[in-house]
Structure 1
Amino acid sequence: MREGIDYLPRRAAERVTDAMSDTRVIVVNGARQVGKSTLAEKVLREHGGVGRFLDDGVTRAAAAADPSAFVQHDGLMLIDEVQRVPDLWLEIKYLVDRNQRPGQFLLTGSARLLGLRSLPDALPGRSETVELWPFSQGEIDDAPDGFVDAAFAAGAELRAEPSELRKKDYLARAARGGYPEALRRDSPRRRARFFDGYVADLIARDVKQVADVERASDMRTLVSLLAAQTTGLVSYNRLSGDLGLTAPTVRKYLEILETVYLVRTVPAWSANATTRAVATPKVFFVDSGIAAHLGAGEGALLENFVLGELARQLTWSETFASLHHYRDRDQYEVDAVLEDNARRVVGIEVKAAETVRAEDFRGLRLLQRKLGDQFHAGFVLYTGRESFSFGNGMTCLPISALWTC
């Protein structure tokens, strides 16, 4: 691992810079400790301006006491962890409604800000949100991170360079995760200390900031249950029985875990041609290192790893696409379904094996039969070395194709 992991270039930086040229308020949103402040400070140094950091008690008290005076400035103002003083939101809205100059505010937050009940209003038409995830593999390895664009551009003709990685290497990468602090720690034991403290702190602090949760132990149990079934379909009734809570309460708790960027749900994909599709979402952890720490099995961990890399790429890819999964009542399934604005579909299956068989394309071929020309390509990502065509729009690629293409 290279030194200075916090200062590795982030793909989100280009999005922030672009937004500065035509948008009044830029919000960098993401999980705690993914490097939002580091990125924002770098932008501030490049553009000039003033920085305000609400983790500092005096600064936070001043913002709460006189939010109108706090936001007055020339040029660019960075407000770090803006959700800590919700009253700032209306003052920012007031200012940018009267001055349409781009690049006035750069805000960071550790929760999905517009989902917080404490924020009084949104900024439609005035702001752009840039999501910052834990490091991608391409950011860590200085690799292209271009699979999403390449898959839609080349379709089943896409090929990747032979990979030197094997199953154990992919599992090690998944267990390492992408948080800067975890990447700095060479020892798995020391990383485990980080992950354990991270989850505990998130539940103790961030969850309470978002919503009233009477028993933190229930939330911790839910996190463990989700890890045991990561990338599986979400059964609110089963989780309700395991936790002794009502299904609506479980649903609310899961929404909270999404708001604080611990997990992400993947909606089910369906179309008129696939009427037997199951509408249940599935869930994965924003960082695969946490999923590994909480005991996710090998197959589920690798799928979590792949879903996370895809979700990261969708925040910067030139292709505007959405991430779904597919499963029907006949047990056909596809781990990831990407659909672009032209309604072209790319299906992706994840296999922990170092070999691929024709039957591994079973779910992909079903989608292809049902969708016809709408189906653009099907890929099986596996832990082997080579790329091969399996005919009729189907290809297997090493998992490393996600960041090397």
Structure 2
Amino acid sequence: MLPVRYRRRVVDRELTERLGAVGAVVIEGPKACGKTATARQVAASEVLLDVDAEARRAAELDPSLILAGPTPRLIDEWQIEPHVWDHVRRAVDDRVAPGQFVLTGSAMPPDDVTRHSGAGRLARLRMRPMSLFESGSGSGEVSVARMLDAEPQSAADPGLTVADVTVELATGGWPGFRGLTTTQGLSAVRDYLGEIQRVDIGRVDDRRRDPDRVARLVRSLARNVATHAAATTLAADTGGAGGPLKDDTVREYLTALERLMIVEDLPAWSPQMRSRTALRSAPKRHFVDPSLAVAALDSTPERLLGDLKTLGFLFESLVVRDLRVHAQASGASVHQFRDASGLEVDAIVAARDGRWAAFEVKLGQRQIDEAAATLLRFAEKVDTDTVGPAATLGVIVATGYGYLRPDGVAVMPVGALGP
């Protein structure tokens, strides 16, 4: 069997840079997003705690045993033996050299496990499933970094149809599922989600949870993807023979899903505004990859193309995933905006130095004018004396070319987005 060729990831450069500056880098992300393959590109030796029983026994007896080896040393799925954390921290202190360890983790351990700070010793790096550019389905011609620099950009048509984009969001950016047929990819994501609901959500904190209740919540999240649905709304939407889930149960399950990095809500952006209109702080509901919502709904690309309202929400979630992947390379984060007057902006990319760009997400070309008007109205309401003007206002669509409108709003197809 030929070895699987590694496909370059946006975080590769960030990983190399951080390893040159600190003793250890912790790569965090949902399982199967490619953490191990990425870490192996820089590692000189490795120990795989999820499959190596001997290594797990050694870690239980004396964690320092699994730290020995050429550096950088990869410790894969470190959270399986969480006391390894303190020993890595101590080893970094003792060795006084950068680039000693790369740790990967598919679940965030309880806060008390990492209570001994890794500040100055360990850097955290977030990974997500692949963007369209990373998977080879997109051109990457429109750079998020250049948008934050206010550079006008154009792009050729990446060649994706709405049907193509629907298949992409339904099968997801999971590296191990690339190359499968659409039917196989849909089945793989359903199996992945089923394993999380049956097994992983209990392992994350050693608490038994009813898989049926978890599945009901996940379906509710899928029905409310890209909305501001509160936990109480999700609870009421769960239904089932036993009645809706309790609000506290929903919040507990959501926390577990967040620790597995399966759910990644989009936080609100709260800039200084010219008016006194109250800003809404509720996050928008998103999975780390829209394919999980499709799997929870037990849907298919064909069915989604017949339900354009649902497809529109899922498309927005796809765009958020890709913006997050590419914004991270610029030290930026992604948010959303909503105020009490009903003004909403789907995505705000905000850099640490104060630069920002705002985007509306629309599945169809006919909605571009409306989206551009929303962005211009939003830009007028922001207090630019305090937060500065938008570097870019853009409408992200499913298909077509990338260009700049006469009103200054950029239009770009999702397949052209890149770092």
TM-score under structure 1 length normalisation: 0.89
Aligned match of 2:153 = 158
* Pairing 1:195–2:195 present: no
Residue 241 (structure 1) shift:
2.5
| Counterpart in the other structure of 1:279 | 281
DSSP 3-state at the match of 2:365: coil
Structure 2 residue 104 is matched with structure 1 residue 91: no
2: distance between equivalents of 1:204 and 1:64? 26
Q: Distance in 2 between matches of 1:150 and 1:353?
A: 25
1:8–1:364 Cα change, 3 Å: same
Give the equivalent residue in structure 1 for 2:164.
169
Contact 1:112/1:260 (<8 A) preserved: yes
Residue 254 of structure 1 and its aligned partner are, at CA, apart by 1.6
The 2-side partners of 1:52 and 1:261 are apart by 20
1:221 to 213, 216, 223: 216
Q: Which residue of 2 aligns with 1:123?
A: 118
Q: CA deviation at 1:134?
A: 1.4
**CA distance change for structure 1 residues 145 and 259 in 2, over 3 Å: closer, same or farther?**
farther
Q: Do the aligned residues in 1 keep the contact of 2:362 with 2:368 (CA within 8 Å)?
A: no
Shift of 1:118: 4.4
Task: Mark the runs of 5 or more structure 2 residues left unpaired by the alignment.
Answer: 239-243, 298-303, 305-309
8 Å contact kept, 1:52–1:77: no
Instruction: Please give the alpha-carbon distance, in whole angstroms, between the structure 2 residues aligned to 1:376 and 1:135.
Output: 26
Distance 1:383 1:4, change over 3 A: farther
Q: Structure 2 length normalisation: TM-score?
A: 0.86
Structure 1: segments with no counterpart, 5+ residues? none
Partner of 1:261: 261
Q: Which amino acid is the alignment partner of residue 381 of structure 1?
A: I
Check 1:272–1:391 CA distance in 2 against 1; reply closer, same or farther (3 A cut): same
Which residue, out of 378, 387, 397, partners 1:382?
Answer: 397
- Which residue, out of 41, 49, 55, partners 2:51? 55
Contact 1:266 1:325 in 2 (8 A): yes
Question: In structure 1, how many angstroms separate the alpha carbons of the residues matched to 2:131 and 2:288?
Answer: 11
> What do you get for the CA RMSD once the two structures are aligned?
2.4
Alignment partners' CA distance in 2, 1:286 and 1:347: 21
Residues 295-350 of structure 1, C-alpha deviations (whole Å, 9 max, x = no match):
3721011101100000111232xx32221111222222111011223323311111
Distance 1:362 1:280 in 2: 24
CA deviation profile, 1:269-310 (whole Å, cap 9, x unmatched)? 122316332111012121222222233721011101100000
Q: What is the CA–CA distance in structure 1 between the aligned matches of 2:9 and 2:235, rounded to whole Å?
A: 39
Looking at structure 2, the residues matched to 203 and 356 of structure 1 have their Cα atoms a distance apart, in angstroms, of 37
Query: What is aligned with 2:300?
Result: none
The superposition leaves residues 135-193 of structure 1 with CA deviations (integer Å, 9 ceiling, x where unpaired) of 221122284475311211235x322223422222221221221112321311x222222
> Kindly tell me: are residues 20 and 234 of structure 1, through their superposed partners in 2, closer, same or farther at Cα, counting changes over 3 Å?
same
What are the Cα deviations for residues 15-67 of structure 1, in whole angstroms up to 9, with x where unaligned? 222222221011122111122222222322xxx34535442222212211222
> What is the one-letter code of the residue matched to 1:132?
M
| Counterpart AA for 1:129 | R
Q: Where in structure 2 are the equivalents of 1:2-401 lying within 5 Å? A: 7-44=6-43, 48-73=44-69, 75-113=71-109, 117-141=112-136, 143-144=139-140, 147-155=143-151, 157-186=152-181, 188-211=182-205, 212-243=207-238, 244-273=244-273, 275-295=277-297, 297-316=310-329, 319-371=330-382, 372=384, 373-401=388-416
> Cα gap change, 1:304/1:332 in structure 2, threshold over 3 Å: closer, same or farther?
same
Instruction: Go from structure 1 to structure 2 and tell me whether the alpha carbon gap of 1:6 and 1:303 turns closer, same or farther (over 3 Å shift).
Output: farther
Map Cα deviations across residues 204-254 of structure 1 (whole Å, 9 max, x no partner).
332222232532322211111111111111311112233434434322322
Q: Distance in 1 between matches of 2:251 and 2:162?
A: 34
Q: Distance in 2 between matches of 1:363 and 1:269?
A: 16
Aligned residues: 394
Cα distance in 2 between the residues matched to 1:230 and 1:361: 23
The runs of 4+ residues in structure 1 deviating greater than 4 Å are 3-6, 115-120
SS in 2 for 1:199: helix
Cα–Cα, structure 1 residues 341 and 118, in superposed 2: closer, same or farther, change >3 Å? closer
- Judged with a 3 Å threshold, the aligned counterparts in structure 2 of structure 1 residues 280 and 36 are, in CA distance, closer, same or farther, namely same
Q: Which 10-residue stretch deviates more, 301-310 or 88-97?
A: 88-97
Closer/same/farther in 2, CA of residues 201 and 117 from structure 1, 3 Å limit? farther
Pair 216,177 (structure 1): closer, same or farther in 2 beyond 3 Å: same
Cα pair 1:376 1:393 within 8 Å, conserved? no
Structure 1 residues 391, 99: CA separation in 2 closer, same or farther (over 3 Å shift)? same
Letter in 2 for 1:336: A
Secondary structure of the corresponding residue to residue 358 of structure 2: strand
Do the aligned partners of residues 293 and 145 (structure 1) sit closer, same or farther apart at CA in structure 2, a change above 3 Å counting?
farther
